[in-house]
Amino acid sequence: MNGSNPTPLLEVRSVTKTFPGVRALTDVHLRLYPGEVLALLGENGAGKSTLMKILAGIQQPDSGQILLDGQPIAIESVRAAADRGIALIHQELNLADNLDVGANIFLGREPRYPLGIVRRAEIDRQSERMIRQVGLTLSPRTLVGSLPIGKQQLVEIAKALSVNARILIMDEPTSSLSTGEAETLFRVVKDLRKRGVSIVYISHRLGEVSELADRVTVLRDGRNAGELARHEIDHDRMVRLMVGRDISQFYARQSHPAGAPALEVSHVATPAFPQHRLSLHVRSGEIVGLAGLVGAGRTELLRVLFGVDRSTGGQIRVAGQPVRFRSPSDAIRHGIALVPEDRKQAGLIVEMSVRHNLSLAGLRRHQRFGGLLNQRLERHLAREMIHRLNIKTPHDGQVVRYLSGGNQQKVVLGKWLSLKPRVLLLDEPTRGIDVGAKQEIYQLMERLAADGVAILFVSSEMEEILGMSDRVLVMHEGSLRGELARGQLSEERVMHLATGGRTAVAGS
């Protein structure tokens, strides 16, 4: 790394980039050394994506200089970046599902015979070598669409290595991966570092940054906010640089008494795990965390509680009254709302405006006689929610696709809060959003609980579970293994139950 070679492999000097109405980068500097993992951090809108697109040849800087091996270069296109050994692996993978692994790795640059016929045997031979480098053991003829997302991520890395990439830019590479898939990716990253590949690693997950990064560079509002050497990297320092303030009140919980049970579940079974009967309750004004490993059945439980899937038995009570949900409409009528795990697929219509998304859940309430939409009421509601949730959008007509992840999540929340739910189900409420937006969502959860809303939330982030929960229910392979009161909470106790340990009950 840089201890033995003081010359950066890649250097960014005083780069500035402006778009109509907004300056994305101002006088930004960055250094990347051979065989180094450099974490690039910042809230959404800090300028990370713009800087990476400039390095990948997708966009051009207005001013400033980029040096490779100490020499100034211009990166006019993606092809020019690839020719210089720079590859960007997007958060949304850029693979063709209907092609096999080898065809994806060599797509657009297939080796050919003189008459133009593709040399398939050569593709297989070279692809197999690249596949092994990233720790995969599969045939180059395997259809990409048949692979889980974690293996597709590794195929994307193999594709980058096939063009002799010296610099890999990885944008939120674990955002869609299970814990096991993420650990495989970490091993590959560490192996690439040993072989001299330099990596720019962008992630909102600060735990993995602490594990992988040799150095951290932080952007805030399009400017350099600071840098941390390996021995300086810790959670609080990273957050402080990103948000520009102390984070001692990050999980600011207030003590307030819980009310009567708002949601009671007795011996309910999910279609995914019909052999297990689940019983739990959530009181008004209480935040209950639902912990467990990927595949434990947490999302499946929320789907039943919202009427997406049918329970195969048992009873659900809302405010003491037995209910039966045949569809989400039934759940909504009884004051239950669900913010789903995948906001783009199940929580939003991304090509519609902020205003229309915010009014989706309450369309019937916004209709005039004859079924026509009351647009004045819709606009009033949208502006109220934009203000209440601090949704950063130029106007309520902005297409949701162009908002940051955190602001998209606030739109999903606003859609349901307009209905004033008594029970709010949250599935991974802060996945893929920056640390500042996370804190705003935590503050919103606290305010809702103080107003008497019952909250049941799923999270795979241990800090979030420990920091926000009044109680924690832990699931393992479709069953509830135990319940922990706030005073009992620790990472060790939660993980003991999540991995199948002995059942515990709050207060025991």
Q: Which is more confident, 180 or 397?
A: 397
Report how many helices (DSSP H) and strands (DSSP E) the chain contains, helices first: 16, 20
Grade residue 508 by pLDDT with cuts at 50, 70 and 90.
Answer: very low
Grade residue 503 by pLDDT with cuts at 50, 70 and 90.
Answer: low
Give the pLDDT mean for 373-402: 85
Residue 247: is its pLDDT beyond 90?
A: no
Residue 399: is its pLDDT beyond 60?
A: yes
Residue 370: is its pLDDT beyond 60?
A: no
Task: Decide the pairing of beta strands 167-171 and 10-19.
Answer: unpaired
| Helix/strand/coil for 248 | coil
Indicate the residue type of 153: Q
pTM for this prediction: 0.64
pLDDT digits (tens, 9 = 90+) for 254-301: 777 889 999 999 999 999 899 999 999 999 999 999 998 777 899 999
What pLDDT sits at residue 403?
A: 85
Percent of the chain with pLDDT over 90: 46
Helix pair 235-243, 435-450: axis angle to 10 deg = 90
Q: Are 361 and 337 in contact (CB under 8 A)?
A: yes
How close are the terminal C-alpha atoms of the chain, in Å? 51
In the 8-state DSSP scheme, what is residue 262?
A: E
Grade residue 194 by pLDDT with cuts at 50, 70 and 90.
Answer: very high
Grade residue 249 by pLDDT with cuts at 50, 70 and 90.
Answer: low
Grade residue 373 by pLDDT with cuts at 50, 70 and 90.
Answer: low
Q: Which is more confident, 257 or 29?
A: 29
Residue 130: is its pLDDT beyond 90?
A: no
> Among candidates 334, 342, 296, which has minimal Cα distance to 317?
334
Residue 17: is its pLDDT beyond 90?
A: yes
pLDDT digits (tens, 9 = 90+) for 315-335: 999 999 999 998 999 999 999
What pLDDT sits at residue 86?
A: 94
Q: How far apart are CA 448 and CA 153, in angstroms?
A: 38
What pLDDT sits at residue 132?
A: 86
Percent of the chain with pLDDT over 70: 93
Give the pLDDT mean for 177-185: 78
Q: How far apart are CA 495 and CA 465, in angstroms?
A: 12
Give the pLDDT mean for 388-399: 88
Indicate the residue type of 46: A
Q: How far apart are CA 482 and CA 299, in angstroms?
A: 17
pLDDT digits (tens, 9 = 90+) for 328-360: 999 999 999 999 988 888 888 888 899 988 888
Give the pLDDT mean for 370-394: 81
What pLDDT sits at residue 506?
A: 57
Backbone angles phi, psi at 9, to 5 degrees: -70, -45
Give me Rg for the CA atoms of the chain. Answer: 25
Residue 483: is its pLDDT beyond 80?
A: yes
Q: How far apart are CA 203 and CA 434, in angstroms?
A: 9
Give the pLDDT mean for 382-388: 88
Q: All domains of the chain, ordered by start, with CATH? A: 10-243 (3.40.50.300), 249-335+421-508 (3.40.50.300), 348-419 (no CATH)
Q: How far apart are CA 39 and CA 42, in angstroms?
A: 10
Count Cβ atoms below 10 Å from residue 275 Cβ, excluding itself: 9
Degrees, nearest 5: CA angle 362-338-418: 30
Q: How far apart are CA 49 and CA 58, in angstroms?
A: 11
Count Cβ atoms below 10 Å from residue 476 Cβ, excluding itself: 21
What pLDDT sits at residue 110?
A: 87
What pLDDT sits at residue 294?
A: 73
Each as own residue / partner, the long-range contacts of residues 362-369 (CB below 8 Å, 24 or more positions apart, any chain) are: 362/418, 362/419, 365/419
Residue 27: is its pLDDT beyond 70?
A: yes
Give the pLDDT mean for 67-96: 89
What pLDDT sits at residue 245?
A: 61
Give the pLDDT mean for 9-24: 88
Q: Taking all residues of the chain, what is their mean pLDDT, rounded to a whole number?
A: 87
